[in-house]
Protein backbone atom coordinates (compact mmCIF):
# COMPACT_ATOMS: atom_id res chain seq x y z
CA UNK A 1 0.00 0.00 0.00
CA UNK A 2 1.21 3.47 -0.84
CA UNK A 3 -0.43 6.68 0.38
CA UNK A 4 0.53 10.04 -1.07
CA UNK A 5 -0.85 13.49 -0.38
CA UNK A 6 -0.23 16.73 -2.22
CA UNK A 7 0.70 19.08 -0.69
CA UNK A 8 1.91 17.67 2.64
CA UNK A 9 2.21 21.14 4.23
CA UNK A 10 -1.09 23.00 4.18
CA UNK A 11 -2.88 25.97 5.69
CA UNK A 12 -6.38 26.20 7.11
CA UNK A 13 -8.66 26.64 4.10
CA UNK A 14 -6.50 24.55 1.73
CA UNK A 15 -7.53 21.35 -0.01
CA UNK A 16 -5.15 18.45 -0.38
CA UNK A 17 -5.32 15.57 -2.84
CA UNK A 18 -4.76 11.99 -1.67
CA UNK A 19 -4.10 8.72 -3.45
CA UNK A 20 -3.78 5.30 -1.84
CA UNK A 21 -3.17 2.09 -3.79
CA UNK A 22 -3.36 -1.64 -3.11
CA UNK A 23 -6.37 -1.48 -0.80
CA UNK A 24 -9.30 -3.89 -0.73
CA UNK A 25 -11.46 -3.22 -3.80
CA UNK A 26 -14.90 -1.62 -3.49
CA UNK A 27 -14.45 -1.06 0.23
CA UNK A 28 -15.40 1.91 2.41
CA UNK A 29 -12.58 3.63 4.23
CA UNK A 30 -12.17 6.67 6.45
CA UNK A 31 -9.54 9.22 5.36
CA UNK A 32 -8.39 12.34 7.17
CA UNK A 33 -6.17 14.35 9.46
CA UNK A 34 -4.89 12.36 12.43
CA UNK A 35 -3.09 12.85 15.75
CA UNK A 36 -0.88 9.79 16.18
CA UNK A 37 -0.40 10.25 19.95
CA UNK A 38 -4.13 10.18 20.73
CA UNK A 39 -5.57 8.30 17.76
CA UNK A 40 -7.96 11.18 17.01
CA UNK A 41 -9.00 11.41 13.36
CA UNK A 42 -11.11 13.97 11.51
CA UNK A 43 -12.24 11.73 8.72
CA UNK A 44 -14.50 11.56 5.74
CA UNK A 45 -15.83 8.44 4.07
CA UNK A 46 -14.23 7.25 0.83
CA UNK A 47 -14.71 4.07 -1.19
CA UNK A 48 -11.94 2.32 -3.12
CA UNK A 49 -12.50 1.46 -6.75
CA UNK A 50 -12.60 -2.03 -8.29
CA UNK A 51 -8.79 -2.08 -8.45
CA UNK A 52 -8.34 -1.15 -4.78
CA UNK A 53 -7.31 2.45 -5.45
CA UNK A 54 -8.57 5.38 -3.43
CA UNK A 55 -8.30 8.97 -4.63
CA UNK A 56 -9.93 12.20 -3.61
CA UNK A 57 -9.61 15.58 -1.96
CA UNK A 58 -9.68 16.61 1.69
CA UNK A 59 -10.52 20.12 2.87
CA UNK A 60 -8.50 21.54 5.78
CA UNK A 61 -11.36 23.34 7.52
CA UNK A 62 -11.62 25.76 10.43
CA UNK A 63 -12.66 22.83 12.63
CA UNK A 64 -9.01 21.72 12.60
CA UNK A 65 -7.57 25.06 13.77
CA UNK A 66 -7.51 24.30 17.52
CA UNK A 67 -5.80 20.93 17.02
CA UNK A 68 -3.58 21.80 14.05
CA UNK A 69 -0.36 21.86 16.09
CA UNK A 70 -0.97 18.26 17.23
CA UNK A 71 -2.09 16.87 13.85
CA UNK A 72 0.89 15.05 12.38
CA UNK A 73 -0.50 12.54 9.88
CA UNK A 74 -3.00 11.92 7.13
CA UNK A 75 -4.42 8.40 7.38
CA UNK A 76 -6.51 5.81 5.62
CA UNK A 77 -8.48 3.81 8.19
CA UNK A 78 -10.89 0.92 8.14
CA UNK A 79 -14.35 2.52 8.23
CA UNK A 80 -15.67 -0.14 10.63
CA UNK A 81 -12.82 -0.90 13.04
CA UNK A 82 -10.83 2.34 12.79
CA UNK A 83 -7.62 0.40 12.21
CA UNK A 84 -5.03 2.44 10.33
CA UNK A 85 -4.05 0.94 6.98
CA UNK A 86 -1.70 3.64 5.80
CA UNK A 87 -0.38 7.00 7.00
CA UNK A 88 1.84 9.80 5.77
CA UNK A 89 3.17 12.96 7.44
CA UNK A 90 0.94 16.05 7.35
CA UNK A 91 1.72 19.53 8.63
CA UNK A 92 -0.96 22.18 9.08
CA UNK A 93 0.36 25.72 9.34
CA UNK A 94 -1.89 27.98 11.33
CA UNK A 95 -2.27 31.62 10.39
CA UNK A 96 -4.52 33.89 12.43
CA UNK A 97 -8.22 33.58 11.59
CA UNK A 98 -9.36 35.94 8.85
CA UNK A 99 -10.32 39.36 10.16
CA UNK A 100 -12.76 41.89 8.81
CA UNK A 101 -10.25 42.94 6.16
CA UNK A 102 -10.04 46.51 7.42
CA UNK A 103 -7.04 47.49 9.54
CA UNK A 104 -7.91 48.57 13.09
CA UNK A 105 -6.35 51.98 12.54
CA UNK A 106 -8.66 52.73 9.60
CA UNK A 107 -11.68 51.76 11.66
CA UNK A 108 -10.59 54.14 14.42
CA UNK A 109 -9.97 56.98 11.95
CA UNK A 110 -13.33 56.30 10.31
CA UNK A 111 -15.06 56.47 13.68
CA UNK A 112 -13.35 59.77 14.53
CA UNK A 113 -14.31 61.21 11.14
CA UNK A 114 -17.91 60.10 11.58
CA UNK A 115 -18.16 61.75 15.02
CA UNK A 116 -16.55 64.94 13.69
CA UNK A 117 -18.97 64.97 10.76
CA UNK A 118 -21.96 64.54 13.05
CA UNK A 119 -20.69 67.31 15.32
CA UNK A 120 -20.24 69.62 12.32
CA UNK A 121 -23.78 68.93 11.10
CA UNK A 122 -25.27 69.35 14.59
CA UNK A 123 -23.61 72.72 15.18
CA UNK A 124 -24.59 74.35 11.88
Q: Is residue 115 situated within a structural domain? A: no
What pTM did the predictor assign?
A: 0.74
Domain that holds residue 47: 2-97
Q: Is residue 34 situated within a structural domain? A: yes
- Name, in order, each residue with C-beta under 8 angstroms of 32's C-beta and a sequence gap of 6 or more: 41, 42, 43, 44, 58, 74, 75
Print pLDDT tens along the chain (124 aa): 799 999 999 999 999 999 999 999 999 999 999 999 999 999 999 999 999 999 999 999 999 999 999 999 999 999 988 888 899 999 999 876 666 666 666 667 777 777 666 666 677 6
Q: Is residue 104 situated within a structural domain? A: no
Asked whether 48 and 54 are in contact (CB, 8 A), the reply is yes
Q: Is residue 43 situated within a structural domain? A: yes
Residue 36: predicted pLDDT: 93
Q: Is residue 84 situated within a structural domain? A: yes
Q: Is residue 124 situated within a structural domain? A: no
Residue 66: predicted pLDDT: 92
Please state the domain count of the chain. 1
Q: Is residue 92 situated within a structural domain? A: yes
Residue 70's CATH number:
2.60.40.230
Question: β-pairing, 91-93 with 9-11?
Answer: parallel
Residue 123: predicted pLDDT: 73
Residue 102: predicted pLDDT: 63
Amino acid sequence: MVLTITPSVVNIGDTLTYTCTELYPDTEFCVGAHIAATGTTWCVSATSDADGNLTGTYYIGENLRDSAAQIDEFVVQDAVTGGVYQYTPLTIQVAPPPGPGIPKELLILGGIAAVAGLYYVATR
